[in-house]
Amino acid sequence: MHIGTKGDYGVRALIDLAMYGGEGPVQRTEIARRQHIPDSYLDHLLAQLRRDGFVRSTRGPGGGHQLTRPADEICLLHVLESLEGSLAPLPCLEDDESGEPHSVCAQQWVWREIYDDMRARLAAVSLADLAAREQERLRSAVASYSI
């Protein structure tokens, strides 16, 4: 695995929707501005997230993007796998549906546990959790300004 800007930006976009999406659709340009993401790139990330059913979009004036489910029902694991593809650190751990058994490699047994544990931890974190942390981070940043 390796979380690049896709995973970083994409997750932040969803956190943004979790935080500001209460009052109807949020526009892409607004997310891009708030999260410092290139607008044209965010476009692609939202398209991917829509394909995988995390967001719903409406066009036309007043349109924008919304989460399809409550933020506490969306887990980080699924979001990252949507944005980045498989998170497997070794090709031989990839879970492909083709049924082809991947070749065994010398370190497989070590990484199997690490990978399973990683996925379990990521599955235990929801967008709501991330949004709460972000909220707290913003609060403390403002506090430190006002000192």
Partner DNA sequence: ATGATCCTGACTAACTTAGTCGTGAATTCG
Partner DNA sequence: CGAATTCACGACTAAGTTAGTCAGGATCAT
Binding site for its own copies (CB under 8 A): 1-3, 7-8, 11-12, 15, 76, 89-90, 104-107, 109-111, 113-114, 117-118, 121-122, 125, 130, 133-134, 137
Contact 77/52 with Cβ under 8 angstroms? no
Partner in contact with 33, chosen from DNA, its own copies, none, beta carbon below 5 to 8 Å by kind = none
Q: Binding marks (x or -) toward DNA, 13..52, rule CB under 7 A?
A: ------------x-xxx--------xxxx-xx-xx--xx-
Partner in contact with 142, chosen from DNA, its own copies, none, beta carbon below 5 to 8 Å by kind = none
Partners of 64 in the β-ladder: 58
DSSP conformational letter for 106: T
DSSP conformational letter for 24: S
Partner in contact with 59, chosen from its own copies, DNA, none, beta carbon below 5 to 8 Å by kind = DNA
Which residue in the set 20, 34, 63, 102 belongs to the binding site for DNA (CB under 7 A)?
63
- The candidate with the shortest Cα–Cα distance to 76, out of 24, 20, 134, 35, is 134
Q: How far apart are CA 57 and CA 125, in angstroms?
A: 24
The structure tokens listed for 11 are 């997750």
Partner in contact with 122, chosen from DNA, its own copies, none, beta carbon below 5 to 8 Å by kind = its own copies
The burial class, CB within 10 Å (0-12 / 13-18 / 19+), for 140 is exposed
Which residue in the set 22, 23, 36, 59 belongs to the binding site for DNA (CB under 7 A)?
59
Q: How far apart are CA 128 and CA 18, in angstroms?
A: 7
Task: Write out the residues near DNA by the rule CB under 7 A.
Answer: 2, 4-6, 25, 27-29, 38-41, 43-44, 46-47, 50-51, 57-65
